[in-house]
Structure 1
């Protein structure tokens, strides 16, 4: 049975994949459906949802289209989540592979660096980093990755420690392959699947962290973000609660979709390994 057939038999995985599919469609079609700058004024301020069908979800305090912000915010959330996860996994797998394969002082030094990063909560590290460097999409991605690479590093190290003594690794040493070539060509590909299982958790955490930074005014000021939309609506929460509720629901559904799809993929892969 193929991976996709097994994946489709899990209700949680299907729900998660469906939510992610909607998010991807929103991100891809945002410039086509809403070609204007989402930060530009589109109508009267504080227009409630469904009062004007040209602005279905209403407008914020400055008269900006909430629906346009929701679609363009999906682009930001998806970009930050995927880029942060990719960066964290790349950094973590490199550090973990080097530590596990080299051993000795190299392992000790790299693991102490990992411990130092783990002692600081990821959000506080991202907050401090963005506050010092300045808010931009690249800085936010890097800040989130700095707080999440330690998990992939530890898992990669544990996997490499169990793989490095296998026969094919010993054979590679005998034929004279360079240690780095053995580590990254022979060992790392076999250690990577457990590390990739963390990707959904990292993506979900990255989306939430980016929203929190934007809520505090530390997101990219040139981009619409769901956290920024929630922050914009808090000053008129009593009179116009939809300004915070709508992006808040989108944020919750996105994180839920990422988590469910990731869990479904991990379970499907685990079933395939068990049967093989």
Structure 2
């Protein structure tokens, strides 16, 4: 952690993510009411009306309110996808690495089967079938993101399963599940956690892309939906797409900066 504090890019990215997290948590206080409700005249220019600092869209909805509630949607989807993908990947990778034999072969063939299909296409197909609910979007994105953690967890477990403490646990008669999830998994977890930032950033981009294509929940404000809403006014009101697009870029870049610094820190601390 001390290494992260010495990296200016990690500090900058972390500050942006912390601000976004606080905005997402305080969205009902910062922007009470329905962000999809008409709040003023349509197409008010940014910085011309104190009541609407970032202006309004073609229907008169406040752009700042949309950004605030869109941050909440993006952060929620990104974190939930990371939790689901990392949990599934750790379980599958740990079982595959420790069990070996046909169990490992079956599980790794399953991982390869999911890796064949691009994550966005898989999410696109599943959301099209299941509908644009929050749970459906999270599950669809997570199904394309769990394979990386699974492969990394398996490689770490393969390196740990011949360790002396594992042999001692077997001699003591511990159940294989207890050895896997209480002895080995905590040691295999730190390298897998380094993938969190990549998964969160990818999930935010995928959710935005789905919303841009009209596959997001129409009752929830999303940055992708705001970009799509403004694309028909690019010549006359380009800010409608540029502002949420910049918010999306800043969030993803900040996430990657923190993720890169975290990965480097874990790599430096890992014993050779």
Paired residue secondary structure (2:233): coil
Paired residue secondary structure (1:14): helix
Query: 1:14-59 CA deviation, whole Å, 9 max, x = no partner?
Result: 1111111221121122110111100100001111111211000011
For 2:142, which of 145, 163, 176 is the aligned residue? 145
Distance 2:268 2:166 in 1: 27
- The aligned counterpart of 2:157 is 160
- The aligned counterpart of 2:100 is 103
- Normalised by the length of structure 2, the TM-score is 0.98
After TM superposition, give the deviation of residue 273 of structure 1 in Å.
4.0
1:266 aligns with 2:254: no
Distance 1:247 1:145 in 2: 24
1:48 aligns with 2:45: yes
Query: 1:105-141 CA deviation, whole Å, 9 max, x = no partner?
Result: 0000001111110000000000000000000111100
**Count of aligned positions:** 272
1:198 aligns with 2:195: yes
Distance 2:165 2:68 in 1: 50
Distance 2:244 2:31 in 1: 17
8 Å CA contact 1:136, 1:221 repeated in 2? no
- Normalised by the length of structure 1, the TM-score is 0.96
1:257 aligns with 2:254: yes
For 2:36, which of 26, 34, 39 is the aligned residue? 39
After TM superposition, give the deviation of residue 272 of structure 1 in Å.
3.7
8 Å CA contact 1:76, 1:225 repeated in 2? yes
Contiguous gaps of at least 5 residues in structure 1: none
- The aligned counterpart of 1:63 is 60
Q: Tell me: CA distance 1:8–1:250, structure 2 relative to 1, closer, same or farther (3 Å).
A: same
- The aligned counterpart of 1:234 is 231
Distance 1:167 1:7 in 2: 32
Backbone CA RMSD of aligned residues = 1.2
Query: 1:128-166 CA deviation, whole Å, 9 max, x = no partner?
Result: 000000001111000000001000000000110110011
- The aligned counterpart of 1:22 is 19
Contiguous gaps of at least 5 residues in structure 2: none
1:186 aligns with 2:215: no
For 2:213, which of 202, 213, 216 is the aligned residue? 216
Paired residue secondary structure (2:103): helix
Distance 1:66 1:72 in 2: 10
8 Å CA contact 2:4, 2:262 repeated in 1? yes
After TM superposition, give the deviation of residue 7 of structure 1 in Å.
1.7
Distance 1:10 1:115 in 2: 36
For 1:89, which of 83, 86, 91 is the aligned residue? 86
